[in-house]
Structure 1
Amino acid sequence: MTLSVFTLAIFATFITLFTLSLADKDVKKSILSWMLLGIIVSIFKNLLVQITPQWSDVPLDSLTYQLHAEALYLHWSGHPVDAIEYRLAGYLNGWESMYGRYWLPESEISYSGVLGSREWLYAAFLAILNTATDEKYGILANALMAGAFPATTYLIARELGGSAKVCHLAALFIAIDPSTAINSAWLIKDTLATLISAITIIAICKLCKGPSLRFTLILALSLGLLAGVRYVAFISFGVVIAGLVSFLIFKKSKRRTICFSAASITSVFICGLLYIAPVTNISKGEVFLSIINPLQAQATTLKAKEHESGADESVIQWRSYLIEHPVKAVVRSIARTLFAPYPWSIFQKQITGTNHIELYLLGSLFWIIIALPGIFIGMVSASKSSFPACVLIALLITISVPYLVFFGEWSTRQRVFMMPLFFSFAAIGWKQIWYSFSRSKHHVSSSTI
């Protein structure tokens, strides 16, 4: 057994045991069943994606993460790393003039400074698996993480007030969903972001219902780790938790206020540590800068024009279209957020088999038919009886804002990391739809009699 295989076995065991630790005693058997079934189904879906011709059109992000993982592995092994060959954007922009072309093992530079992104945890995760030897280990690790989605979705639906049948339905939805399998079939961070987000959501729900030291620690760790995987989620969760703390103070719920406040403060320090790692010394100022600097960079990107520092072509195109055609832009934004990538484009354009975006069309069809009809109804239904549901609805709104402002849509790959929550609401909504249909049918039968 190679070291990578052994590491994967340990990782699968850890995910299973940790997910079980999130569950109450009365549902642990269901969670274990969904974990085992989820892993099997996830690996199968992952393999199906890999036999499609579109899978060969590897996203640029995947290639970059693999190169960064190899760079970190070489660095940890004590070898100099060629910054050009491994696309170390941060090193080339800020450190090459001081240290030369090669990132040396003894260089005191943060990983975020070298890689050019504070979201370096996924690259480090791949480096631990040594994907330089074979990328299949990283893809299999993604499948293992995606295998936990049905179980975590079950738990989220339960926290939102769903019955056992509703929870099983929510787990079944995400087990079948094609989108999560597509993301896990490449070396991209979305699967890790989805799992950490789901854990964070469960911890928030638990603390909304009552204080808990265990879930305070889980929330602090998961929220802090989000800063190194998907920063927009970290900020969005932080904004919602800040509002939640204000509400709890108003309600004079001291113990829950302390739990959420302690978790938030700890997560900020974890964020700061990730920002400067592996440098050991950290000051309050550096923690503050670790939060502010990315926000300032995003503000620059939002305003930047073509060829200016921080400019992003997608942001520029959306801003120009919004200025020139404001009404059309708003309509398009809503349509793309709800439906993109449009599954009916199959009939409008020929499927080439060479564009990886085509793989998301089936997932989009599943989203439109299965998820959308239930999500909004589920939100309304759950919010009437579940306080955590209100908090999580606010979270979804908060997360959507930056995507809509910067890109004019929250769709496709960017939306997948919230799928466990979306499908939990969808399952609750479908129960309400079925109940309304059954009651209407019974009413018609009674009237006929």
Structure 2
Amino acid sequence: MSVLLVAAIVAVAAVVVLYKQREGVVNSSANSGLAGWDARADVGPIQLRTTHFDQAPEGFSSGVELRRAADEQRAWARAIISLKDPTGFLRVGQGYRARVFVRDVTASGQTVGLLLGNENFEHRPTLEARYVSLDDDQWHELVLDFICTKPAAADTGIYLALPTSGPINLHITGVSLQQSDLAVPPTVDGQASRVLDFSGAAGAAPDPTVWNHEVGGGGWGNNELQTHTASRRNSALDGRGQLRITAREEDLTGPDGIPRKYTSARLTSKDKVEVPPGSYVEAPIIAPVGKGVWPAFWLLGSNIDEVGWPACGELDILEVVGSNPGTVHNAIHTAAVDDPKKDMPYGNGDEGGGSTKLRMPVDSRSHRYGVYFDKDLIVFYIDQQPTLTYTAAAARASGRTWPFDKDQFIILNVAVGGRESPEGTPFPRVMQVGAISIWDGGVPFG
């Protein structure tokens, strides 16, 4: 190998390493004055000044002090710290770690949030955020691990959501944004480890060695209006490799003895097929829409009978509120550390994001909905593009348990009601599900 070729390889490797490790924030600890720092609110000023700390996190001695006098309630208050090259540095599909150290001198108990965006809360490459309640005057490290899901803009920066009421006396230092492999699942090559197909004659039942029918009414914990049945009218193969789950408007008295006006189906793989941690599971689905229609593709912890819900964990790969036909919701349900019966959801359009707007309604064509989970990480996907990510470290830091180091089973269902009335919606409504693929060890794409 020539000297020139060796030199070229070394140079390229050095550039790659440099790019991967370089810092994305312009002036992370205000060593260059207040360049790249800005703080504002819709009412009243927020004062910034550089300062040196007698006691600070290791490696830092300077930073910024934010002050605001107490006055009327505000709608918003924020600080923006500029990035060096947001459009080049933030790449869709890449994992990142944002970090900031914050201290409330007055131990006010108020909340500060860490996210990315511009001054108008736009141009957000991730909808995820982390918040901390500052109940003491100690330094707190706020960490946000995320996958970039949308392109950044030239004005995208580190966005600190500040308290909207009361006085502020905050110290900030060590603002950082770097590429990270922590938020990226491993990749695997080859075919799926297991495929749950729906081959068979039209009108036949799905494979009973894989699927159970959960039947009855009772609201299913969500004030749902349907009775689930094992009838082929509500779940059957279409003869072309798909499962059809059909919600109908028809009177039926279920095993609970309660007459209801709707029927549907709920299939689970409990005790038959389990998805182990470290797996990626994906299915092509055409989801039904319409007010009061609530289709879902999800996972539940296989130990639910022993520990109960939400301690077993739940991963909502696809949920659609039928009156909003172009939006797909992802969510994580897990218990509070101090209360196994307290649900602490993440996603579903609230904390962390988890709502993805598609260009067309979800019933217009099939999309591939998937999730990867293991002992450290969860990432949801639509058409193999990440839509929501969450880490065990972030969950535990927010008082949540992490039960996703254990097996999960699959659920497919179409509910009626629950979140909204189906009055005026024509039935039947059908969810079409193609073969469900499971890859052990990672995702089958990079």
| The two structures share one fold, judged by TM-score above 0.5 | no
- Going by fraction, where is helix more abundant, 1 or 2? 1
| Structure number with larger C-alpha Rg | 2
* Higher RCO (C-alpha under 8 Å, 6+ residues apart): 1
- TM-score, normalization by structure 2: 0.25
TM-score (norm 1): 0.25
